[in-house]
Amino acid sequence: MRVVVVGAGIGGLALAQGLVRRGLDVVVLERDTDLAHTGGYRLHLGTSAVDSLARELPPMVWQSLRAASAGPESFTAMHLADRQLRLLGRVRPEGGRHMLVGRRPLRVTLATGLGAHVRLGEEATGFVREGSSVRVLTRSGTEVACDLVVAADGVGSAIASQAAGRPTSAPIGLVGLAGRHLDVAAIDRKAPPYLTAGPALAFGPRGVGLFLSRHDPATADVDPGAGPAHIEEPSWIWGLILTRAASERRLPDLVEASARTRGWAPWARHLMSTTPPDQIGTYRFHASDPTAPTFGWPASNVTALGDAVHAMPPTAGQSAATAIEDAADLLGAVDRVTSGAVTLPVALADYHHVVDRRARPRIRESLGPATWVARTSGPAAGMALTAATNLIHGYRTLTRSTT
């Protein structure tokens, strides 16, 4: 079986690693020319995703990935705060293994050993089915014939959209401005103490949300014989979420960030304003419709994983982990085909069902914080949020003084 994976992102590379370990003929087409030049910051991988990587990656690659990640002690709770970063509540993560790792080291590490299987600078633009085989078309004019195509190239995937006969996601009216501040010692001095236990998501009036996290990769358990680890410097990571008309193409900048965060905690404003411009990126939030089946095309020899088919905003931190879990399920489907247990269409139909069932609730969960930000965009909603926040703080102060 020959497989073409379109996109060398997190899910695509995890899939490619498993396919290569199975001895299959694998080609990964990636439009980027350098895998290290990637946007995004720290990712949270839950137990299922971590177990999948531990099972499917070569031991040396797995050890390098562990060395580049932060220890579990850096995420013992997810915090909810107001715009003054006063703590409103916290949620403890589920038990099991967790991994906190930067997107750049994760992507580069997952490409370790794939070598010529990855073709950089090749953007897939569509496909042509020919019986039981398929040809993938690229912008450069080359074509790659295969038995199975997997769209793993994220939001706006041409392959996934062609297979579904429609766009697989749409803008949801939110945009983001994210940064990484490397002067950790200076920022640490006035940081809210609770952030040492895990990240926070803060809400304010006028349609603004802010994600905050301190990222410090753990290196103490590096095995010298495991090969190089792509370890990032410790940093403070922030992500500003702003409401924006879905039709408006302009993305936010620091000037807008400063204007929209007036009245926020001075520490948070200082963190954002002193982040170097080369450490800041912008993005638009997309999501798939959680009320409709995420896979809307017949099972054949073209499929997809991750945001290419079930896009979810980053507000719940589940996109990368879900793509890895998709890859693991697709590897299981391939195993059933190569063993002769089922045909490819049957295996993919089962895969579609499993992925659809997992993706829907996660899209809804990811849309939850995004919905709260959107609801605070109007004056009345902003006043309601402020009143609710004051009520919560007043109640907690009262209960502390009487117990």
Q: For 130-146, how does the pLDDT look when each residue is reduced to its tens digit (9 = 90+)?
A: 888 999 999 999 999 99
The hierarchical CATH code for the domain 2-391 is 3.50.50.60
Q: Determine the average pLDDT of the residues in 250-266.
A: 91
pLDDT of residue 316: 79
| pLDDT band for position 8 (cuts 50, 70, 90) | very high
C-alpha to C-alpha distance for 263 and 25, rounded to whole angstroms:
57
Taking alpha carbons only, the member of 294, 311, 283 closest to residue 156 is: 311
305 pLDDT exceeds 60?
A: yes
- Asked which of 85-94, 275-284, 349-358, 365-374 is least confident by mean pLDDT, the reply is 365-374
378 pLDDT exceeds 80?
A: no
333 pLDDT exceeds 90?
A: yes
Kindly report the average pLDDT of the chain as a whole number. Answer: 86
| pLDDT band for position 368 (cuts 50, 70, 90) | confident
What backbone phi and psi angles, to 5 degrees, belong to 111? -85, -5
pLDDT of residue 263: 94
Pairing of strands 148-151, 2-6: parallel
**Domain ranges, ordered by start, for the chain:** 2-391
pLDDT of residue 245: 66
Q: For 169-207, how does the pLDDT look when each residue is reduced to its tens digit (9 = 90+)?
A: 999 888 999 999 999 999 999 999 999 888 999 998 888
The two tokens of residue 148 are 């199975």
C-alpha to C-alpha distance for 371 and 363, rounded to whole angstroms:
12
pLDDT of residue 399: 35
Q: Terminal CA-to-CA distance of the chain, rounded, Å?
A: 68
